[in-house]
Amino acid sequence: MKKITVGFLALFALSVNVKAQDYKKVRQAMLISQVGSTGEAKLEEAKTELDKIAADPKGAGAVETELLKAEVYGTIAGNENLKAKYPDAANIAYQSFKKYLTLDPTEAKLKEDNYAGLSNIYTAFFNSGIESYNKKQWDSAYDAFNKTSDISDFFLQRKMLKASLDTNLHLYTGVTAQNSLKHDEAVKHYSMLMDANLAAPEYESMYTYVVDYYLNKNDSAKFLKYYNLGKQYYPKNDYWSSARFDFLVHGKSPSEVLSIFERENTGAGLSAKEYSQFGSYFVDDSLIRIMPTGERAPYFKKAEEAFSKAYSLDTSDVISLYNQAIVTNAQFTEAWDRTTELKGTTTDIKTKRAESYKNTDVLADKTLDQFETVYNRFSNKATRTRVEESTMKNAAKVLARTYEYKRERTKAKSTPQDYDKFDKKFKFYDTKY
């Protein structure tokens, strides 16, 4: 019994010894490849010996096999001539490196070999990423940069680099992820740069992208974190007021937004841009637009107030005044329609019609006042943009129609002395659009 056991142990020892010798051949060839003129030949010899081990069931998947595959193929990937001959060398090295780490979490053998080959894997993937990036091959560029980031993070976690973050690499990885529509991955890499408080001009779009991402994810905490950082570093960017408004109204009903406006419209209030955004919401929101006229009225009132405050805070923003005038005119038009619908000769109908006309007349005067301000601001300019020209003509059209209303009202109000005045105004504006 003892003889059988001893014989088995002897055979086992012989097997191990043979494998050790095989690994030694690989290591010797690798060592010689680092010096002299036969470097490439010796590197290929190391690969040949290693491939034999990997093909042997006893060597395939072993700790040292995977380590040497990472080192040998990584070194090949760093050799200009051999990487062309073995184009998949970097990928093989990377996969073996990842497998090795699972087999030897202590990294003992890797440390003994002084992390050989890893820097070549990094360089090979980075250069491949740059090549694909320049060709706008975003998917392949992202794949290469992402693997490079994996190696870089390995170095950084072990304090093997002086830097605390591989900034250019994470920027490349983020950009290529974004361009290949891998939004989660793009934000992951961008966030690392933002968390490091990087704020050069080339990073500005990165901040707006991440803020948008967390707005759409409805992640309030991260939205506010990166919103505040972006606003701090790029205060002149108009995007921040838009982002804040979207954050305030995101997923809210019109009545909730109305309450938010009342809450925000206190003290120092909102910025001109934010007032304008609230005004546009109260007019253009799809749920408000389908409401019956009576239900829309409170929102139109708030829109008018919001645009008015926007213009008072920034009188150069004539578009806000124009929008306010549009809202006033909409109320005037609705009031006019309601008044003309009051037909009949009963005392009750006459009373209601008279009261309705009073309201319509007030809104007509407000419409004229606001649109004439808009018209005059643009008509007095020596040159106008296409938008300004179009806005001025639209204002003239509304003014002509409203003065026509005022002219016809002089008959009902028995004020014929005003007829010519309003008719003159009507004829003037009627030629301006």
* Whether the predicted pLDDT of 3 surpasses 50: no
* Whether the predicted pLDDT of 417 surpasses 90: no
- Does any domain span residue 46? yes
- Does any domain span residue 166? no
- Does any domain span residue 9? yes
- Here the contacts of 307-311 (C-beta below 8 Å, separation 24 or greater) are 307/275, 307/276, 307/279, 309/265, 309/269, 309/270, 309/272, 309/275, 310/272, 310/273, 310/275, 310/276, 310/279, 311/272
- Does any domain span residue 17? yes
* Whether the predicted pLDDT of 367 surpasses 60: yes
Which residues 6+ apart lie within 8 Å of 359 measured at CB? 335
* Whether the predicted pLDDT of 193 surpasses 90: yes
Residue with tokens 């097997």: 15
- Tell me the pLDDT tens digit for each residue of 78-94: 888 898 999 999 999 99
At 326 the pLDDT is 94
Residues found in the chain: 433
- Does any domain span residue 174? no
- Does any domain span residue 211? no
Residue 302 and residue 399 in one domain: no
Average of pLDDT values for 360-385? 94
At 10 the pLDDT is 39
Name the domain boundary from 316, 332, 352: 316
* 422, HSE (Cβ side, Cα atoms, 13 Å): 20
CA–CA separation, 384 and 260 (whole Å): 37
- Tell me the pLDDT tens digit for each residue of 102-128: 999 999 989 998 888 899 999 999 999
CA–CA separation, 379 and 373 (whole Å): 10
What is the separation of C-alpha 113 from the centre of its chain, rounded to a whole number of angstroms?
44
At residue 392 the predicted structure's pLDDT band, cuts being 50, 70 and 90, is: very high
At residue 267 the predicted structure's pLDDT band, cuts being 50, 70 and 90, is: confident
Name the domain boundary from 116, 141, 166: 116
> Do 94 and 120 meet the contact criterion of CB atoms below 8 Å apart?
no
Residue with tokens 């090949």: 76
* 15, HSE (Cβ side, Cα atoms, 13 Å): 10
15 or 380, greater pLDDT: 380
Number of domains in the chain: 3
Residue 420 and residue 378 in one domain: yes
176 or 163, greater pLDDT: 176
Name the domain boundary from 116, 144, 164: 116
Closest CA to 158 of 118, 99, 126, 196: 118
CA–CA separation, 402 and 326 (whole Å): 12
- Does any domain span residue 274? yes
- Does any domain span residue 229? no
What is the pTM assigned to this prediction?
Answer: 0.71
What burial letters (b/e) apply to 251-277, b meaning 16+ CB within 10 Å?
eeebeebbeebeebbeeeebbbbbbbb
* Whether the predicted pLDDT of 98 surpasses 70: yes
Residue 432 and residue 326 in one domain: yes
Q: Could you list the residue range(s) of the whole structural domain that residue 269 is in?
A: 252-316
SS (H, E, C) the chain: CHHHHHHHHHHHHHHHHHHHHHHHHHHHHHHHHCCCCCHHHHHHHHHHHHHHHHHCCCCCCCHHHHHHHHHHHHHHHCCHHHHHHCCCHHHHHHHHHHHHHHHCCCCHHHHHCCCCCHHHHHHHHHHHHHHHHHCCCHHHHHHHHHHHHHHHHHHHHCCCCCCCCCHHHHHHHHHHHHHCCCHHHHHHHHHHHHHCCCCCHHHHHHHHHHHHHHHHCCCHHHHHHHHHHHHHHCCCCCHHHHHHHHHHHCCCCHHHHHHHHHHHCCCCCCCHHHHHHHHHHHHHCHHHHCCCHHHHHHHHHHHHHHHHHHHHHCCCCHHHHHHHHHHHHHHHHHHHHHHHCCCCCCHHHHHHHHHHHHHHHHHHHHHHHHHHHHHHHHHCCCCCCHHHHHHHHHHHHHHHHHHHHHHHHHHHCCCHHHHHHHHHHHHHHCCCC
419: its two tokens = 């007829």
Residue 274 and residue 337 in one domain: no
Residue 29 and residue 9 in one domain: yes
